[in-house]
Structure 1
Amino acid sequence: MRDKDFGPPCARMTFAWGNTTDILFPGWPGAAPRMYAAALGAVFCAAALVEWCNHGRPAQLARSSSGAALSSGLVHAARVGLSYVLMLAVMSFDVGVLIAAVLGHAVGFLAFGCAGFRSLEPWSTEMKTDVGSMGC
Structure 2
Amino acid sequence: MMIDLAHFTPGLSLAGGLLIGLAAAVLILFDGRIAGISGIFGGLLTWPRHDIIWRLAFVVGLVAAPVIASLVGKPVQIEIGSAWAKVLVAGFLVGIGTRYASGCTSGHGVCGLSRGSVRSVAATVTFMAVGFLTVFVQRHLLGG
TM-score (norm 1): 0.27
Structure whose residues are more often helix by fraction: 2
